[in-house]
Amino acid sequence: MRLGTKLTLYLSLIIIVVLSGYGYLNILSRREILLTRMKTEVRSTTQALKVSLEAIQLPEEMKYIQSLIDAVSEKGKTLDVVVYYPEENLIFHSHSLERSIELYLDVIKR
């Protein structure tokens, strides 16, 4: 092989390695940013739900509570909501949790 060919191959390999490392680190940093934003959004939605549900009188407002939960967990969103009132043993949940609510109830009741 000639010297020019060797230099071209070595330079190409170095560029490939450097760009691959940069791409990997860029993907990791974007993942962290996305996770932080998702956690912030879930916390703000949870706080808004908590504030709106704290002052509700239960027997009269049961339909309102369920409609509020349905509005927060619309189709296409991945937010699951469980509201548990231990005094009356009432449970409100989003429709996406129809099958797996027992796991959440065990954690809540602890």
The confidence score (pLDDT) of residue 36 equals 95
Higher pLDDT, 1 or 9: 9
The confidence score (pLDDT) of residue 46 equals 83
Burial of residue 15 (CB within 10 Å: 0-12, 13-18, 19+) is exposed
- pLDDT tens by residue, 52-91: 877 777 667 788 888 888 877 776 666 777 777 777 777 7
Report the chain's mean pLDDT, rounded to a whole number: 83
Q: By mean pLDDT, which of 16-30, 31-45, 70-84 is the weakest?
A: 70-84
Do the Cβ atoms of 82 and 102 come closer than 8 Å?
A: no
